[in-house]
Each structure stands twice: as structure tokens, then as C-alpha cells.
Structure 1
Amino acid sequence: MIVTSRVADARLWAEVLNLGGFDVIAKPFHAPEVLHVLRTVSLQKAGPARSQRLAANA
């Protein structure tokens, strides 16, 4: 889970993580920031071998 919020403080971020979320993105957000978070999620979920291939293609 990735949460968007106008106020992204440490308390909200900790709550999101405790509930199983991945990250909080503060609004207004920009495409490069969203893509970075999505790539990071993809790399963590893919496993080591696939992560290296994806990182090489980024």
C-alpha cells in the first residue's frame, strides 16, 4: 500500500508502515517521485536476481 496525503509527517509514515504499507507520498506529488516509489516496490518484491536485472535497465 502506498498512501498519498497532504500532510506526510513521521507519525503518519510510521502508522502506514505498522499497517503493512510501503510508503507515504506527500501531495502534490510529481511523476518521477511516484515512479521511484513504484520501482522500489517492484525491486523489493521481485527478489535478488530480478532486482539486479530491473536496476540495470532503469
Structure 2
Amino acid sequence: AWRCPIVAYGPGDAALDHTPDEHIVLEEYLRAIRVLEMALGEEVNKGTKDIQSSRAF
């Protein structure tokens, strides 16, 4: 409805989302945290570089 591209990522089996059998394996959860930390860190650094370069005269 918003016509906005997104990415959905997380641990666990999506087929079990919001069901009584929904669960995640701890190692999958910890791996998802590491992946998101890396991805968000790259985006933050990229944004910082864009801001710094736009301030250059």
C-alpha cells in the first residue's frame, strides 16, 4: 500500500510466525543480532560519509 521497498529479516521459521508452535533457536537469534549489527553499522557509516561529503566546500 505504501509502495516502499522493505527487507524482512530475522531468526526462526516464518511458517511458524504467530502460531502456537512459534519458537526460535538461540543460536539463530544471536546470529541475527550479529547480522543486523553489521548491516546497520554499514548504513550508519555510509550516511555519515554522505553527510560529511555534503559539507565539504
For the aligned pair, the TM-score class normalised by the smaller chain equals: 0.3 to 0.5
- Which structure has the larger Rg? 2
Identify, as 1 or 2, the structure richer in strand. 1
TM-score with structure 2 setting the length: 0.39
Higher relative contact order (CA 8 A, sep 6+): 1
